[in-house]
A and B are shown apart, each in its own frame.
Chain A
Amino acid sequence: MEIIVAKKILNANDQIAQANRARFDASRVLAVNLLGSPGAGKTTLLEAVLPGLAKTRKIAVVEGDLATSRDAERIEAIGVPSMQINTAGGCHLDANMVSRAIGTFELDSLDLVVIENVGNLVCTAGFDLGEHLRVVVLSVTEGDDKIEKYPPMFQKADALVLSKMDLLPHTNFQVERMRENLQRLSSQARLFPLSVQTGDGIDAFVDWLESAMRRDRRDR
């Protein structure tokens, strides 16, 4: 006997993601999913932008890694509360892990939650965590063909941070080629070339985050 089902797999994740988003909305918190390869500079970016933002905004960070609490310690060291999730081999964060992690925060007292995903350009793209914005970090040392090779990761990005711009002269990375591909794939995505080492471009990214937080508050 055949049973017609038509049930979406991953539906459980999507439902929990919706619930997470509703919790963020109810507490007027902007949630950002930070994605990119291992070594792209995700944690380093947070170390560069969060101390300034934390002067006027209440922030917490969820850190996802296979093992160690190293990243959470780095975030704690700049005075921002963080919660480490170890996926023990899992290649991505899912909505359920995030749901448990944000349960440890006093959401009502926060303005911004950054969820730093497991370093991975593939699997993390497929899982909604309940975020409002997706920010992908790509370093110039990874090469300018990553958008063409891993399109799902970049398609739903709201912003692309092009990191390690101080190393650009030492690479064959063509920013224009990457910009064109990003435009084709995700015309709404903002591009932020920056260098944490020199500080160039950081302000523009911080301003964008600030305006997203203001917009976020107005909408609710």
Chain B
Amino acid sequence: MHEIALVQDLMDTAVQEVGRAGLTGRIVRLKLSVGRLSCASSEALRFAFDVLSPGTCAEGASLEIDEVDGLCRCRACGSTRPSSDLLASCAECGSPDIVLEGGRDLVLTSIDVEDS
């Protein structure tokens, strides 16, 4: 539901960054890294982008989404591995005492701007 607000924020940030770089061309590609624990759905982000981008300098741009896991750290044996399963046990020693770090962020990683 709140993906609309997230994509608005994403587009505002993109326009700001293009201006800061002193560029004037159209945005042709946005790369986004989406944590699997961010509570944002890639499908809903794409839908929101299709709704919000027409009429802006990002109209027709491709949205590349890279979904990333968090890091699961076992407090019993110290092993780490990528995971987004909040209720998993440690794959090494089976302990349920795990901490899941990261995987919560939504990051605009890069913007491709058409050469003008």
Contact = CB atoms under 8 A, between A and B. Distances in A.
Interface of A: 1-10, 12, 90-92, 94, 122-123, 125-126, 147-148, 151-152, 155, 181, 183-185, 187
A5 B87 contact: no
A10 B86 contact: no
Interface string B1-26: 11001100110011001100101010
A184 B110 contact: no
A181 B87 contact: yes
A32 B16 CA distance: 34
Contacts of A3: 17-18, 21, 23, 110-113
Nearest to B8: A9
Contacts of A6: 107-110
A136 to B, nearest CB: 14
Given A3-B111, A122-B1, 9 more contacts: A5-B13, A5-B108, A6-B110, A9-B6, A90-B5, A123-B2, A126-B40, A152-B86, A184-B96
B110 A185 contact: no
B97 interface: yes
A122 B40 CA distance: 10
Interface string B86-110: 1100000000111010001111111
Q: Which of A5, A90, A184 has the most CB of B within 10 A?
A: A5
B43 interface: no
Nearest to B109: A6
A8 B39 contact: no
Given A1-B115, A184-B87, A7 B1 contact: no
B70 to A, nearest CB: 11
Q: Which of A2, A3, A91 has the most CB of B within 10 A?
A: A3
A125 B97 CA distance: 22
Contacts of B112: 1-3
22 contacts: A2-B110, A2-B113, A3-B23, A3-B112, A4-B109, A5-B13, A5-B17, A5-B108, A6-B107, A6-B108, A6-B110, A7-B13, A7-B17, A8-B106, A10-B105, A122-B39, A126-B2, A126-B38, A126-B39, A147-B87, A148-B87, A181-B87
Contact of B23 (A1, A4, A123): A1
A82 to B, nearest CB: 24
Given A1-B115, A155-B86, A181-B87, A9 B39 contact: no
A7 B39 contact: no
Contacts of A148: 87
Contacts of B40: 126
